[in-house]
Structure formats: structure tokens, C-alpha cells
Amino acid sequence: MNILMSAGVPRRHEGGVAAIVYNFGRELESRGHRVEYLFYEDLLSEAEMKGRFRDLRFSLRVARHIRKNRDRYSVVNLHAPIGFVYGLSRWIFPSSGYPPYVMTLHGLVERFVCVMGREDEKGKAWHFSLKNRLWYRIYHRPRFVLAIKTLDRAHCFSRDVWTMLQLKYNLDSDKVAYIPNGVEKRFFISRKQHDRKPLRLLYAGTWLDQRGIFYLRDALNGLNTRFKDWTLTIVGAGFPAVELESFFGAGLREQIIILPIVPSKDMQHVYAEYDIFVFPSLMEGLPSVILESMAAGMAVITTETCGMADVVEDGFNGLLIPPANAEAIEDAIPRLAQSPSLRQQLGQAAQESMKRLTWEKSAEKLEKVFEASLRNGSGKKTIR
């Protein structure tokens, strides 16, 4: 097959979505397919990559690129919501010979609106006022809905999305595939837990309000009243250090360590240096940093929601806590801090669990989705 894979993100490997695309592409190429990629920089100028309508511009240009090169691709894999323009093109012109459209969906916009609306009421959301909520309903949500309604096949990373695509969007079960991310072999490092001081906590990923950062800050302030022998390192936040220091305040500043973007090829060395991975996100798809830290044998603390609950079993290969609960974070950290043996037990189980999630297996499943779309991906569809 000649496959086009595209996502509305920068092409750098450090980005979570771009890394997922590249990993799938590499494995598909090893299976004999030809893969091309389209990211922001491939179709947008530097000026066009700024502003509210970047994704709309990109969606239009992806659709135009595919239409102009319809004979070049067997199938196109477009990460939502960028496929909505191309999907509409196929729906309007069913006999045009356009290649089948397989959508990849990381998470539901409905969940984002629900979760962040609640957080805004608590004063724990940065950009989700009434104006922002209206913007999501008027601009963001319709693009996701059309991307879903016009697809031929769908692929998602978490079971809650897999279920909702069938229940809410009335997609037949054979059109929706749950395929979790894989983990690269380089993350499977040897680890021995130490009772060292200070305890080293790690957070990796973009610093977003939807990732439970307000609750993490509250938990660390509470933790400091019980013991202070810890540090939290934040990797790849995408925020100036001075803003992160201001967020935590003077009381925690000395215990917060901020690292700039770490090259993707070096992340396994970062995981090796820390004791506990803390990721209290309120909503995700299936975050690669969770899989990578587990593969590295870290004890993880994360929330019992979205894709995290698909891979973490509480008390077996990590600790699951309720979302939006600072007290739960504050209790979980000392539980692991006081027991290197528990960290070792959870970390070993986590590493064994991740051995089942290989990119080879994930790509094999995605290949079958593409093959199914080629068999059944043509013809006029009804947008329901």
C-alpha cells in the first residue's frame, strides 16, 4: 500500500502525536508499505502556522493535496479533526476515485468541554471562559463531528473513545478499532530502586491546565508540611521557567527543577534518573509518557480515566487516583516514597506489562484497518 499519514502538529519527533505517526510509519514501512507524512510545516508558511484558523487552513490543504494526488495513495490516515474537509469531499463526490479515509482519534472533544467547564467553575482552567466554550461549540466540535461522520474506518487509542464512537456516533463495531500505542525497545532499561534522598519525582509533557497541574501544585504544598525531602523535575513543559516558578510560588521554588525540551532519543536516560512518575491528567488519549515511564520500570501515579485506566492496574503496575483530587496525589507520593520495595514491585510489573505493547503489533493491527478500508471504503455514505 501507498499510505499518507497526516496530523495537525509540528513534525518534530519530540511532539507526542508526531512521534506516534513516525513510529506507526516506520513499522508499516518494515512491512513493505510506502509511507508519506504531512505535518504543519509541509503545507503552511511560518506566518500561517499562527492564529486561530491554522488547523482549518491545514485541513483544506491536506484535502487539496490528496485530491491532486488521488492516484498516488492507496489509503490516507488523517488524525482528527483535520480529515473533515477531505471526508466531505469523498461524501460529496463518491465516484471521484479518492482513496479511503481512515481517521485516528486521540480523544473526545465532548470530554474536554465537560471536564474543562467544571475546572473553570473551580477557577482551575486558564482558557475556558464562556467565550472559549462557545468557540469550542461553534468551531472545534463541528470539525471533529464531521471528521467522524465522513470516515471510512476509525482507529483510537483508548477504550472510552472506542465505546463512544459506537454509542454516540452510531459507528458499526467493525468500523472502529482500538489500537493502543506501542513502546520503543530502548525504553526497557534495567532499574534498581534506591532509598536515596531526596526523592526524585518526574513530570514529562506539555504543561497544560487539563493535565491536573493545579491539583499537583496543591498536593505538593500539602506534602511539604509532612516532609520536604523531594524534588519535582518538569521536562518539556513548553513554558518559560520563570512562569512555571511563579505558578508554584516561593514555597516550592527550591524543589522544582525545570528542564527544556529533551531530544526524544534521550528520554530513556531521563526516566532512568527518577523514582516516581507523576501524571495527574484530567483527560488524555493514551499518553506516550505513561507507557515510556512504565517500560523504564518507574512507579507511576496517574488518574483513573481515559487511556491511563486501560494500561495501569491500581496496586499491580502503578497507582491510579481519582481525577481532580489533590489529596489523592498527596497520599500516593508518601506511600511510594516510604517503600522502595513497593516502587520496585510496581515498576517491574509495569515493565512486564509494557512488553505486550509493541509498535510491531500496533502497526499490524492498523495495517488490517487499512486493508478493510480498501475492501469497503468506497460508495456514498449517509451523514447521520
Classify 302 as helix, strand or coil.
strand
Q: Under the phi-then-psi rule, with left for phi > 0, alpha for psi from -120 to 50, and beta for the rest, what region is 236?
A: left
Say if CB 300 and CB 312 are below 8 A apart.
yes
Q: Which residue has the cell 513493505?
A: 32
Q: Are 270 and 204 in contact (CB under 8 A)?
A: yes
pLDDT digits (tens, 9 = 90+) for 16-42: 899 999 999 999 999 999 999 999 999
Residue-level pLDDT at 348: 96
238 Cβ partners below 8 Å, 6+ apart?
206, 207, 261
Helices (H), the chain: 16-30, 40-43, 54-68, 84-92, 109-121, 130-135, 141-149, 159-167, 213-224, 241-248, 267-272, 288-295, 308-311, 326-337, 340-354, 359-376
Query: In the prediction, which pLDDT does 317 show?
Result: 97
Contact 207, 213 (CB under 8 A): yes
Q: Which residue has the higher pLDDT, 384 or 332?
A: 332
Distance CA 308, CA 154 (A): 20
What confidence score (pLDDT) does residue 52 get? 84
- Residues 152 and 260: their CA atoms lie apart, in Å, by 40
- What local confidence, expressed as pLDDT, does residue 195 receive? 73
CA distances from 320 to 39, 184, 204 (A): 34, 24, 17
pLDDT of residue 157: 95
**Which is more confidently placed, 355 or 14?**
355
DSSP 44: S
- Domain positions in the chain are 2-182+359-376, 185-354
Mean pLDDT across 106-115: 90
Q: How far apart are CA 258 and CA 211, in angstroms?
A: 17
Band (15; pLDDT cuts 50, 70, 90): low
Prior bond of 100 cis (ω within 30°): no
pLDDT, residue 379, reads 42
pLDDT bucket at 93, cuts 50 / 70 / 90: confident
**Separation of alpha carbons 297 and 87, rounded Å:** 42
Confidence band for 263, pLDDT divided at 50, 70 and 90: confident
pLDDT of residue 261: 80
CA angle 182, 25, 93 (to 5 degrees): 120
CA distance 315 to 1: 43
For residue 356, is pLDDT > 60? Answer: yes
Q: What is the pLDDT of residues 174-209, one digit of tens each?
A: 999 999 999 999 999 998 767 778 999 999 999 999
What CATH number has the domain spanning 185-354? 3.40.50.2000
Around 255, how many Cα atoms within 13 Å sit in the side-chain half-sphere?
22
Lowest mean pLDDT among 97-111, 340-354, 369-383: 369-383
Nearest to 165 by CA among 216, 107, 232: 107
- The CATH code that applies to domain 2-182+359-376 is 3.40.50.2000
Choose between 131 and 373: higher pLDDT.
373
Q: Is the pLDDT confidence value at 382 over 50?
A: no
Q: Is the pLDDT of residue 122 over 60?
A: yes
Task: Report the sign of the C-alpha dihedral through residues 204, 208, 209, 210, in that order.
Answer: negative
Q: Give CA separation, 316 vs 48, 289, 319, 347, 351, in Å.
A: 47, 19, 8, 9, 11
Task: Read off the C-alpha cell for 180.
Answer: 493502543
Span 346-368, mean pLDDT? Answer: 97
> What is the chain's mean pLDDT, rounded?
93
What percentage of residues in the chain have a pLDDT greater than 90? 82
Cβ atoms 251, 243 nearer than 8 A: no
Among 54-68, 78-92, 129-143, the minimum mean pLDDT is found in 129-143
Q: What is the mean pLDDT of residues 216-224?
A: 96
> Do 2-182+359-376 and 185-354 share a fold?
yes
Q: What are the Cα distances from residue 285, in Å, to 15, 257, 321?
A: 14, 27, 17
Task: Look at residue 380 in the predicted model and tell me its pLDDT.
Answer: 45
In this prediction, residue 12 carries a pLDDT of 80
CA 261 vs. chain centroid, Å, equals 17
Note the pLDDT tens digit of each residue in 264-307: 889 999 999 999 999 999 999 999 999 999 999 999 999 999 99
CA atoms within 13 A on the CB side of 361: 13
> Nine-digit cell at 141?
466540535
* Cβ neighbours, 10 Å, residue 64: 14
Q: How far apart are CA 287 and CA 384, in angstroms?
A: 31
